[in-house]
Structure 1
Amino acid sequence: MRRFRESLTTRGAAFLASGGVLVVAGILLGQHDLSRIGTVLCALPLLAGLLGRRHDLSLDVEREARPSRVVIDEPAVIGMTIRNPGPSRSPVLLAEEHLDYALGDRPRFVVPGLASQTSTHLEYAVRAHARGAHRLGPLGIRVQDPFGLTLRHTSISSDDELLVLPRVEQLAAGRSLGRGLGAEGSVPHRVALHGEDDQSIREYRDGDDLRRIHWPATARTGELMVRQEDRPAKRRAVILLDTRAGSHAGTGPGSSLEWAVTMAASATKHLLDFGFAVHLLTTDPDRESGVREDTELDAALETLARIGTSPETGIDSLLHAASAATAQGGLVVAVVGGLDDASARALSSLRQPGGPGLTFVIDAASFVREGAAVPRVAGADPRSTTASLAASGWSVLTVRPEMGVADAWTSVAGARSLVGAR
């Protein structure tokens, strides 16, 4: 009975109420015709409800996003195929696609009646205003009887999504960024016998083929030098992204987390373009280590698209993983919030002597809107973190909301040579 009451439209409820009144009035006044009219009015919604129940609303929905991954503010077209798997014809349906708020308004359709085992194809456009894995669906459908007395509602669940990647800004090369080819140790001397990328010179080691001795280099250095025809190893770059909830503030595109994600995405692509072997480290509570490591651009951007804030303890796992990743040296780029003294020392130790280290310290308090609570991390202060890292030889910038990602990179990367990245 409750389901029936919920299915009544305003018109159906009016019919039922009016019919009831007429039936009672007819009985009290002895007017049988009035009671008959009331009975008909009451019966119509009941009959409409029963007729509506005979239609099976079990439909199959398949979606395809074109393209399947977009960048913020890039449009996408969602193709939706609705199929009737039942044995009987489906009625004409009113459909509404439920979408995340970031994808815009909910599209509405009229789905024509479908014969058994047939389908129809519909399309709608979306434009995402925020990164993330945005859910598509469920598809809400409703069917109304011809008299408009009852309305049935149901929804078709869905696990489809549209992946919206973070923005990637063009970063300047910085002062003497150089290319990312070199060795993870002493930088090999290059020669141009068959192209500088094809050969390098290194010191002789026991077991080396004597035919590979490079006599001009041996004479010049006074030590046996051999040709190494392998392609030089890529220099390593390790990027850390601190996503602790207490390190970030603000909401939407202007939040500190979005700034940090954009910087991490931009730095990853920038350094990969310069030939570095990039290791992006982010917190992942679902992994045993608590850290996710990405080395390919597509995987890194997907990770950054899905990432949210993490527990406060995540910084310890992140710094531990970074310590292993930087053991052989390399460029270190850290996007962090305020750190306590122990974490600041751990981060400082990641930069090898003479190697470059860039840090962007988020001043979360400056991202807080008026009247909102200021995030706190026990013992952490962005100003003391900045001072501690600067004293350890890092290039550091305290980040505030008015700073652009590209300008912040230029300010820090241009402050020192990055050629020493090994």
Structure 2
Amino acid sequence: MRTRRSLTARGAGALIAALGCLIAANVAGARILLYIGVLLAVLTLLSLLAVRLPRRSGTVTRQISTDLLTVSETSRVTVRFTLRSLRIPRGLWHDVLPDAVSGDSGGEYPPESGQLSYAITGVRRGVWPLGPLMLRTVDPFGLAQREQAFGETRSITVVPEVLSLAPLAVRVGAAGGTAHTSSTRLGQGSDNLSPRGYIPGDSMRRIHWRATAHRGQLMVRQEEEESSPDAVVVLDRSSRRWAAPGAEPDPAFEAAVSLCASSAVHLAAEGYSVDVIDSAGVLLGALRGHEDDRDGLLVALAMVTPRGESRDLATLIGGTPPGPLVYITGSLDEEDAALLRPAGAAAALLFSTGLLPGAGEASVRHGWTVTPLGPDIAEAWADAVSARTGAGDVPG
């Protein structure tokens, strides 16, 4: 944060002029120049004292209209600034913003509305400091200035953008993406569950009397447990897939993170239980239908960066094949694509920001639907869905 000089450009000019008058008065013997030089010097000094001597303190609290700020989303920050001073100065205020957000965070002080407020827009995901509040005051002659910081910084979390995606054309079992039932024989079900014939050893408490009277033979309740088909989203963030981290964000990696968030939220909305992991097996989030799950995933993705190495995909998923499997990676060559197996997933979608020659064909041979990932994330997803439908999948 750059510190302003105590003298304005006008004040520095007045001080230089005073020095010039004093020198000219000594050389030319003109007493009037001496008076002018002294007057300018004294006036500059008094202006400096007028803005620097008063003691000021204050407290700052900020309220943001959204708990999590999404990239490209606009939110409003309301600042409550309590200034303690002998008199209320007039000046300009501004809240220090990180490069990750944009906005006009300043104005005149004191404000006409009595409240400090401004809009910000998310630019770059991450956790960033917001503040401190800066108050700049200038003396009536505009010769001296004072800029003072008030309050502490507040953290603001900018999460990746979540886009609306096309429905995934895949059917898992008989229920697709909605919660479906799996039959068990434990405990007691309700009367509207499918009954079965009595087997010696069944508890008499499980007899379904309505079905027994209807069919003329003993029938028992067969409990069915509610479950949801599983979906897995994998973000391959191994460092060799992406450009080396620099001062500016990598557009390809940012697109991958946004697709990771968007696809996970989309699959959860379709009724799937979604696990989001990275290529090393670290769990980034699990969506089970709760709003807190979504926020937790977005916060984790706000801080994710390329690092480490990837592990075998089948090892990450385990022995139970998922329904939809979304694998998002960066630069992918033919050799690595030949080792990437979808582990029996019902719908295997592979997105790559940099498909090298032969990688796409090698992935398709293993059962992947391969789609290049560019800046338009929704279009890439739509292309993948269209490719699956064209390959003969039954719409869900």
TM-score of Structure 1 vs Structure 2, range by shorter chain: 0.7 to 0.9
| Alpha-carbon distance, 1:255 to partner | 2.8
2:63 and 2:77 in contact (8 A); partners too: yes
CA RMSD of aligned residues (A): 4.3
Residues 32-57 of structure 1, C-alpha deviations (whole Å, 9 max, x = no match): 44323312211221221122111234
Q: 1:159 to 1:202 in 2, by over 3 A?
A: farther
1:144 paired to 2:138: yes
State the match for 1:335 in structure 2: 328
2:103 and 2:121 in contact (8 A); partners too: no
| Alpha-carbon distance, 1:258 to partner | 3.4
1:395 and 1:416 in contact (8 A); partners too: no
Amino acid in structure 2 at the alignment position of 1:229? E
Amino acid in structure 1 at the alignment position of 2:369? S
Aligned partners of 1:382 and 1:45: how far apart in 2?
68
State the match for 2:365 in structure 1: 391
State the match for 2:263 in structure 1: 267
State the match for 1:371 in structure 2: none
| Alpha-carbon distance, 1:148 to partner | 0.7
Question: What SS class does the counterpart of residue 262 from structure 1 fall into?
Answer: helix
Aligned partners of 2:39 and 2:199: how far apart in 1?
103
1:53 paired to 2:52: yes
Q: 1:324 to 1:363 in 2, by over 3 A?
A: closer
Question: What SS class does the counterpart of residue 360 from structure 2 fall into?
Answer: helix
Q: 1:107 to 1:179 in 2, by over 3 A?
A: closer
Structure 2: runs of 5 or more not aligned: 209-218, 288-292
Aligned partners of 1:281 and 1:207: how far apart in 2?
45
Q: 1:36 to 1:25 in 2, by over 3 A?
A: same
1:382 and 1:398 in contact (8 A); partners too: no
Out of 250, 254, 260, the position equivalent to 1:258 is: 254
Question: What SS class does the counterpart of residue 131 from structure 2 fall into?
Answer: strand
Residues 228-268 of structure 1, C-alpha deviations (whole Å, 9 max, x = no match): 52532222111101234543469999932233233222321
1:310 paired to 2:306: yes
State the match for 1:106 in structure 2: 104
| Alpha-carbon distance, 1:419 to partner | 9.9
Give the length in aligned residue pairs: 368
| Alpha-carbon distance, 1:193 to partner | 7.2
Q: 1:129 to 1:163 in 2, by over 3 A?
A: closer
| Alpha-carbon distance, 1:142 to partner | 1.2
Question: What SS class does the counterpart of residue 5 from structure 2 fall into?
Answer: helix
Q: 1:14 to 1:262 in 2, by over 3 A?
A: closer
Question: What does 1:30-179 correspond to in 2, within 5 Å?
Answer: 30-84=29-83, 86=84, 88-101=86-99, 103-112=101-110, 120-128=114-122, 131-133=125-127, 135-156=129-150, 157-161=152-156, 163-176=158-171, 178-179=176-177
| Alpha-carbon distance, 1:6 to partner | 2.7
1:14 paired to 2:13: yes
Aligned partners of 2:34 and 2:90: how far apart in 1?
35
Moved more, 227-236 or 327-336: 227-236
What is the TM-score when the length of structure 2 is the normalising length? Answer: 0.75
Q: 1:212 to 1:396 in 2, by over 3 A?
A: farther
Aligned partners of 2:125 and 2:49: how far apart in 1?
46
Amino acid in structure 1 at the alignment position of 2:17? S
Question: What SS class does the counterpart of residue 227 from structure 2 fall into?
Answer: coil
Question: What does 1:183-332 correspond to in 2, within 5 Å?
Answer: 188=183, 194-195=191-192, 199=193, 209=203, 212=206, 227-248=221-242, 255-282=251-278, 291-295=283-287, 296-304=293-301, 306-311=302-307, 313-316=308-311, 323-331=315-323, 332=325
Amino acid in structure 1 at the alignment position of 2:161? P
| Alpha-carbon distance, 1:205 to partner | 12
| Alpha-carbon distance, 1:272 to partner | 1.3
Aligned partners of 1:75 and 1:22: how far apart in 2?
54
| Alpha-carbon distance, 1:278 to partner | 0.7
Question: What SS class does the counterpart of residue 328 from structure 2 fall into?
Answer: strand
Question: What SS class does the counterpart of residue 243 from structure 1 fall into?
Answer: coil
1:72 and 1:129 in contact (8 A); partners too: yes
Question: What SS class does the counterpart of residue 124 from structure 1 fall into?
Answer: strand
Aligned partners of 1:154 and 1:261: how far apart in 2?
39
| Alpha-carbon distance, 1:206 to partner | 12
| Alpha-carbon distance, 1:19 to partner | 1.4
1:336 and 1:359 in contact (8 A); partners too: no
2:160 and 2:257 in contact (8 A); partners too: no
Question: What SS class does the counterpart of residue 23 from structure 1 fall into?
Answer: helix
State the match for 1:408 in structure 2: 383
Residues 326-372 of structure 1, C-alpha deviations (whole Å, 9 max, x = no match): 43332222112245788657641x523xx4242323143xxxxxxxx
1:171 and 1:409 in contact (8 A); partners too: no
Q: 1:402 to 1:208 in 2, by over 3 A?
A: same
1:71 and 1:164 in contact (8 A); partners too: yes
| Alpha-carbon distance, 1:31 to partner | 3.9
| Alpha-carbon distance, 1:83 to partner | 1.2
Aligned partners of 2:348 and 2:78: how far apart in 1?
44
